[in-house]
Amino acid sequence: MAHKRSPHPTGAHAAPAPAAATPAGSRARTVSEVPLAPGENTSGQRKYKYAGGYDFDKIASGMAVKFKHNDHYDERSLPNMQVLLGMIEADALITDIRWTAYMLATAMWETSHIESFQVPRTGKDGKVMTGKDGKVITRTRKVWINMKPVHETGEGAGRRYHNPVKVAAQPTGELKITEWNGNVFTLKTNGEYTSAVHGRVPGTNPPARPVEAYTKAAGDEHSYFGRGYVQLTWWYNYASAGVLLDKGLTLVTDPENAMIAQTAYDLMSLCMRTGKGFANKHKFDDYFSGTQRDYEGARAMVNAADTESIAKVANIARLFEDVLWDARKSAS
């Protein structure tokens, strides 16, 4: 992935005091501003409560029009969006078009990355070119892809949570966590943890190389860089997320589970609805209630500190709202 991410000091990406967090959740990148939809309706003109389905053909055609000025939209991402929208439609607790629009906008922003594709090369006459062997001549095209769970750019290289920890199962069902600097923590089955030495906190500045206590420690080695739709970082956040989702400590013992689309979606939905986990006590109802339509403020659920993203994500959400409104299968 080509984009870079800026520090994210709140929510799922935050390290406990006194260690300062610098996790993933945003990117410092150049992207053309997404214009507001022409003739955009004011909040009082729509009945936002809606729990029905959407016509995906209308979604696709609507996005081709609404997102034509968005450099990070490419139709190759539509299958990813269809999977995500399908999970939203199946979620009986998502009952507001604004919620759906904001989840889609967040996923689009947080997962944008560049992928390369081979496409046919065409001549000046517009015809596909072929070689002497009759095979189509191709060229490499790089496009922005999004709407699917991703690994953080560089897997968190340069950030403290990039350093692996060792995870050892205990007979009690708890886990022993050993960090690079030799700090040891007991991770309880309820997602809480205690330090072997009073006052130690996870994520304390690690040495350039692991200490002997780490290299000799038992356990499997894992790194807890950003993964998912709303990227999850730090081993203790993987622990609390797993418990929230009734998955126990499985996200700690196998962090790649956070890349499973349903798991990544369930975490995003639960936290944005309830304010738990990465949402840091901010929830949908704080920004979308009655006729309230605060797409800018809603960024606090993920990363209000990334001021670059606030207006851009809000504008993307407004475009999604228009697309979803026109694609409803039943009147609200």
pTM of the complete model: 0.82
Q: What is the DSSP letter of 180?
A: T
Q: What is the model's pLDDT at position 46?
A: 87
SS3 content of the chain, % helix, strand, coil (to 5): 35, 15, 50
pLDDT mean for each 10 residues of the chain (332 residues): 36 38 35 41 73 95 94 93 98 97 97 82 84 82 92 91 96 97 97 95 90 96 96 94 97 97 97 94 96 96 91 96 95 56
DSSP bridge partners of 221: 166
For 182-228, where are the E strands, in sequence order? 184-187, 193-195, 220-222, 227-228
Q: Does the bond joining 18 to the residue before it have cis omega, within 30 degrees of 0?
A: yes
The pLDDT value given to residue 120: 79
φ, ψ at 118 (rounded to 5°): -90, 125
